[in-house]
Amino acid sequence: MPLDKLSHPQQARAWFDNIPIQNQYTVGIAGEVFFRGLMDGKLLAAHCQECGRTFLPPTLYCGNCFSTSGEWREIVPHGVIDTFTVVHLDLEDNRLEQPELIALVRFEGCEGGLIHRLGEIDAAQVEVGMPVEVVFRPPQEREGSILDIAHVRPLTKS
């Protein structure tokens, strides 16, 4: 029996179905402060008074010493490209007409960083180490989401 051969190709069949659930995530206690900060056009990080580390995105507790002695600090929304990629495929494996630029941006004095889209620049010109700034959506379009940041772009000298 373990060596049974399929006698007809139709027997080699698959059963098709899906997992029909959706999710809604609360942003949580630290998230509530961080995302409301984005709505105000501010980047807020959590600073641990015990070990002196600063986390962005912020957490309720220090991932290092596990204390809740944190305080909120607004940080300058200027960072540096730590690494980047040029994405040519969408989630369903279709070729994108316009490739997307995705970067990990680090902020001075902060642990962590933001993953976001890079805009207002050609792929060929992006370099690791390039200074960038956060571009917020217009205030009336913000809704307390990571997409309240439209993208990051090369830091304009002003």
Partner 1 sequence: MAFRRTGLRRVAVVGAGMTKFVRRAQETAQELAFHASRLALDSCGLRIQDIGAVCLGTAPDAFDGVHMNGEYLSDGAGAYGKPFMRAYVGGGTGVFSVIQGWYHVASGLFDAVLVVCEEKMSSCLPHPQAAFLTIFDHTTERPLKPNLLWIFALEMNRYMQKYGLSKKDIARVAVKNKRNAMDHPAAQLAAEITVEDVLNSEVLAWPVQRLDVSPTSDGAVAVILASEDAAKRITDKPVWIKSVGWCLDSAYWTNRDLSYPEYVERAARMAYEMAGIKEPRKEIHIVEPYDPFDYKELHHLEGLLLAPKGEAPRLLAEGVFDRDGDLPATPSGGLLGVGNPIAAAGLMKVAELFWQLRGEAGKRQVPGNPRTGLAQAWGDLMQVGTVAILGV
Partner 2 sequence: MAKIVRELPGLALTPEDISQRKVLSTSWVPKAEYAWDAGIAMGRYLEELRNGRLMGVRHRRCGRTVIPPRIFCEQCFAPMDEWGELPDTGTVNTFSICYVSWDVKRLEVPEIPAVIEIDGTSPRVGILHKLGEVDPQQVKVGMPVKAVWKPAEERNGAITDILYFQPI
Q: Is the dihedral of CA 69, 81, 93, 99 positive or negative?
A: positive
Taking the complex as a whole, how short is the minimal distance between the CB of residue 98 and partner 2, in angstroms? 22
Q: Which is nearer to partner 1, 20 or 129 (CB)?
A: 20
Q: Which stretch binds partner 2 (CB under 8 A): 23-31, 78-86, 98-106, 132-140?
A: 23-31
Site string for partner 2, 64-103 (x = CB under 8 A): ---------------------------x------------
Could you give the CA distance from residue 23 to residue 8 in angstroms, rounded to a whole number?
Answer: 41
CB 115 within 8 A of CB 132: no
96-101 LR contacts (CB < 8 Å, sep 24+): 99/123, 101/126
Contact positions vs partner 1 (CB under 8 A)? 15, 17, 19-32, 59-61, 63-66, 68
